[in-house]
Structure 1
């Protein structure tokens, strides 16, 4: 993706493609360094019923706002219930993940404190660029 100049703009639904992250998980990127020269990265992730993402950490702070559904945020070895309009703050380098524990899909708004985000998978130590082909919700089997 070519880096864009920083300028005000509107992104319509058609301008925000879904990234298939495997296991039914889908992410839509709003802004990032590469997309609109932003110093933050924002978007949404949809987590189907009964699905989880693998434990991971990021190179920056993260905020997650649950827009719909019932989830559990896992960090420090404990799961914490989180529902609509509740916020999880995950500091940089904190291993964490989210689980859909409800009867409906979970829709999460993410806000990363960097325009260029990486994800490091706890199980393997592999670090990948956010939304790259290797940035999967669950490892390939």
Structure 2
């Protein structure tokens, strides 16, 4: 089991005002992990460019409104607590 204390994690500036607190990563997990997760804050009107990952990704929208575009699924509007899981 891995426990990550958010106050012990250094936030990463990603440009354009986007900030991520990486939680479960290969570096933080005590055993091999197949998923990454963290907390990202996006200023209104910003977003991540289309991209891919070398692991699974889980995202839960905590507040605000968002849209996610997933290959093969089109664009989906999200509201708080909606969750995505991408393999």
TM-score above 0.5: yes
Cα offset for 1:64?
1.1
Q: In the alignment, which residue of structure 2 is the partner of 1:63?
A: 58
Q: Deviations over 1:96-136 (max 9, x none)?
A: xxxxxxxxxxxxxxxxxxxxxxxxxxxxxxxxxxxxxxxxx
Cα offset for 1:69?
1.0
CA distance in 1: counterparts of 2:83 and 2:52, whole angstroms: 17
Q: Over alpha carbons, which structure has the higher Rg?
A: 1
**How high is the TM-score relative to the length of structure 2?**
0.79
5+ residue gaps, structure 1: 1-6, 92-141
Root-mean-square deviation (CA, aligned residues, Å) is 2.1
1:18 aligned residue (11, 16, 19)? 11
Cα offset for 1:28?
0.2
**How high is the TM-score relative to the length of structure 1?**
0.52
Q: In the alignment, which residue of structure 2 is the partner of 1:82?
A: 78
